[in-house]
Chain A
Amino acid sequence: EDKVVQSPLSLVVHEGDTVTLNCSYEVTNFRSLLWYKQEKKAPTFLFMLTSSGIEKKSGRLSSILDKKELFSILNITATQTGDSAIYLCAVDGGANFGNEKLTFGTGTRLTIIP
């Protein structure tokens, strides 16, 4: 059974700090790893990573994947209160193209204090 473990479970930092969120996984047919941000309700897509060592970046957020060690990190620099959310890591273990079989971790709840 595919498994995704995120750490820490929760994190409280001050505005302006840099945070690193961790995601480790076990999956039989790895295809990609995805990060989502969940604020009040619906998760929204942040990144998809498929290759090791290639950093994906979007503004103050960046993520990298290590397929050998089976983990990924999500970095957020110069945090803002709007970054407060639950960050979900998911692994696509879909065996067939077009079959997005996502297994989600329980998430990291990030709280930014002004």
Chain B
Amino acid sequence: DSGVTQTPKHLITATGQRVTLRCSPRSGDLSVYWYQQSLDQGLQFLIQYYNGEERAKGNILERFSAQQFPDLHSELNLSSLELGDSALYFCASSVEGTGTGELFFGEGSRLTVL
């Protein structure tokens, strides 16, 4: 158990809909990262937050947005969903300031868009 909690574990929805994925980082971790893993694809970095502020942005679509709240949990919002958005969405957190690069991943939220 990494200490990172993601909900929901599974989500099935229809095209055009909007969903919210939630992540609670490990206790004490200030950084939260969101990754997308599609079938046969590596982990694609979406976005990073540090202590409530956006720190880095990857290949995140305009239909997607995220935020980190004062209690450090984070939410990833996916809107106008398309079939191609079906994927495993991971949240990870890290001990900020060490520069170790070690991320602790949650179990992921599997999104299926029908």
A contact set with B: CB distance below 8 Å:
4, 31-32, 34, 41-45, 48, 88, 90, 92, 94, 97-107
Contacts and interface: CB of A to CB of B under 8 A. Distances in A.
Nearest to A50: B101
Interface of B: 2, 4, 31, 33, 35, 40-45, 48, 50, 55-56, 88, 90, 94, 96-108
B43 A43 contact: yes
Contacts, number: 74
Contact of A101 (B2, B41, B56, B98): B56
Contact of B42 (A31, A45, A104): A104
B30 to A, nearest CB: 9
A107 B106 CA distance: 18
Given A31-B101, A100-B94, A41 B107 contact: yes
Contacts of B101: 31-32, 34, 48, 90, 92, 94, 100, 102
A17 B107 CA distance: 30
A101 B45 contact: yes
A4 B50 CA distance: 25
The listed residue with most B CB atoms (<10 A of its CB), out of A44, A45, A98, A101, is: A98
